[in-house]
Amino acid sequence: MTETPKTGQVVNYPYLWARQANDGETEGRKPRPCAVVLALKTQSGLTEMRLCAITSQKPKSGTTGLQVPDTEKRRAGLEASVPLWVIVDEHNIDIYERSYYFAPDSKLGTFSSKFTKELQSLMISTIQAHISQYVKRSD
């Protein structure tokens, strides 16, 4: 990916689930669509991203996810015929400029600002409720 990812973009990314990281795994098993829920510049000028996995598996009880509407699937370049959810109670944190995981062709599309704000709001609520987990992908 030559241009820095922005909030709301959907990218292919080898997401590492928190349960896998807790079991000692260090690499995502496969690239999957992920939403860049937040992309912020740090004081040192680097881009810190918080990425949430997009999955076709309906969230289990105790997991917080938001179903992706058909319109948003089209905007984001996702499969329209399959139900999809963005899981927001866990995320990967990565620094774009130091990441080993972004390929030049990783951008799929972009969610609308309204849907992105819904994702952000849900993510923040899970963080504030202390039910969120994250995996840092870079040092």
Q: Cβ distance 76 to 108 under 8 Å?
A: yes
In a domain, 4, yes or no: no
> pLDDT (tens digit, 9 = 90+) per residue, 94-126?
999 999 898 878 999 999 999 999 999 999 999
> pLDDT (tens digit, 9 = 90+) per residue, 39-80?
999 999 999 999 999 999 999 998 999 999 999 999 999 999
The pLDDT value given to residue 54:
98
In a domain, 2, yes or no: no
The pLDDT value given to residue 105:
85
Q: Cβ distance 111 to 35 under 8 Å?
A: yes
**CATH number of the structural domain spanning residue 42:** 2.30.30.110
Q: How confident is the model at residue 139 (pLDDT cuts 50, 70, 90)?
A: low
Q: Cβ distance 75 to 91 under 8 Å?
A: no
The pLDDT value given to residue 2:
63
In a domain, 39, yes or no: yes
Domain limits for position 81: 9-136
Count the domains in the chain: 1
In a domain, 70, yes or no: yes
In a domain, 44, yes or no: yes
Enter the pTM of the model: 0.93
Strand partners for 54 = 86
In a domain, 1, yes or no: no
In a domain, 112, yes or no: yes
